[in-house]
A and B are shown apart, each in its own frame.
Chain A
Amino acid sequence: DSGVTQTPKHLITATGQRVTLRCSPRSGDLSVYWYQQSLDQGLQFLIHYYNGEERAKGNILERFSAQQFPDLHSELNLSSLELGDSALYFCASSVSYNEQFFGPGTRLTVL
């Protein structure tokens, strides 16, 4: 158990819908990262938050947004969902430049 929690574990929704994925980092970790893992694109970095502030953006679509709250939990919002958004979404947290601790992921299926 990495100490990072993600909810929900599975999400099935339809095209055009909007969903919110939630992540709670390890106690004391100020950084939260979001990744998308799909068969064709592999593991792609989406966005990094540090203590509530956005620090870096990767291959994140404009339809996606994220935020980190004062209690350090983070949410990833995905809107106008398309079939191609079906993937595993991981959250990770870290306290430093070193290792990241990954949550169990949310499997999103868009029908």
Chain B
Amino acid sequence: SQQGEEDPQALSIQEGENATMNCSYKTSINNLQWYRQNSGRGLVHLILIRSNEREKHSGRLRVTLDTSKKSSSLLITASRAADTASYFCATRGAGSYQLTFGKGTKLSVIP
């Protein structure tokens, strides 16, 4: 079963705009990760935020985590056509190696 639910399911923006994707989850977590998947290819890890962190940055990516609301957001600033992909949040529970993925947000960046 899916732990996370991303919102929106699909997002279309112009190049240069910011893209925000949200993720909600159900159970307590050790960390939350975001992955990108280009069409039909393998997932690529983007960023990890631990349960005791509230915000993390990596290049044009900013991730926030609100454990009280069991939600996270991924912000991609100054988007590029190459950012077109599906983005998934994945949660890891305490004492577990496995990740539980949401259904993803499909981002289209129009040049």
Per the bound structure, the CA–CA distance linking A98 and B18 in Å amounts to 27
A-B contact count (CB 8 A): 60
| B87 within 8 A of partner (CB) | no
In the complex, the answer to whether B42 meets A103 with C-beta atoms within 8 Å is yes
- Complex interface: chain A residues within 8 A of B44 (CB): 2, 102
* Chain A residues positioned under 8 Å from B31 (CB to CB): 97-98
- A58 and chain B: residue at smallest CB distance: B98
Residues of B within 8 A of A31 (CB): 97
A105 at the interface (CB under 8 A from B): yes
**Is A14 part of the binding interface, using a Cβ–Cβ cutoff of 8 Å?**
no
The answer, yes or no, to whether B59 is at the interface (CB within 8 Å) is: no
Which residues of chain B come closer than 8 Å to A100, judged between CB atoms? 45, 99
Interface string of B72-109 (1 = CB under 8 A from A): 00000000000000001000100011111111100000
